Amino acid sequence: MNAVRITVATGLLGLLAACATTPPTPQPTFDAVAAVAAIRATGGAANSELDVQPIRDPQVEDLREEADRLERAGQYPQAATALDHALQINPDDPALLQERAEAALLMKQLDEAERYARQALQRGSKVGPLCRRHMETIAQVRQARPIPIEVPGEGVADARRDRDACTVSAPPRY
């Protein structure tokens, strides 16, 4: 009888041990506001860098200002809607697409943020402050994903290398 009890107790302990799991490793939380701040800081033009700014449509500029006001108030979906209206007027504006990418990032819509940043990169200059913002957005998205992409050429370091390649010195002035 004792042998049966020991066998049953050992079996139950084995089952309990099999059911025990280690707690999952907590994923670092994504700070969207800090990510967007880093993107915007990366896009600052250096004094020795050429930065050409296009003339802007007044109606689009009003919507951009509205989006900026809404973003500062923490109303990210409404800011994104204002930028969507601006994109209906001027769908190929790389700066506007970048702002929409940043709005998507603030709403933690990583795939949308990367899509807008890639569209902006396709339609805009491949050099300068705006180019750096596009590439830093892509880097921030890759860094925020729960499982980083490990495909050659598709990592965070690759995006940051491409971001750094966007910096081109201005032509010499005489």
Per-residue model confidence as pLDDT tens digits over 32-90 = 999 999 999 998 766 566 666 777 888 999 999 999 999 999 999 999 999 999 999 99
Q: Are 83 and 103 in contact (CB under 8 A)?
A: yes
Domains and CATH numbers, the chain: 29-44+54-165 (1.25.40.10)
pLDDT value for 168: 79
102-122 mean pLDDT: 96
Q: How far is CA 149 from the centre of its chain?
A: 14
Coil, helix or strand at residue 49: strand
Q: Tally DSSP H helices, then E strands, for the chain.
A: 8, 0
Between 80 and 153, name the one with better pLDDT. Answer: 80
pLDDT at 167 over 70: yes
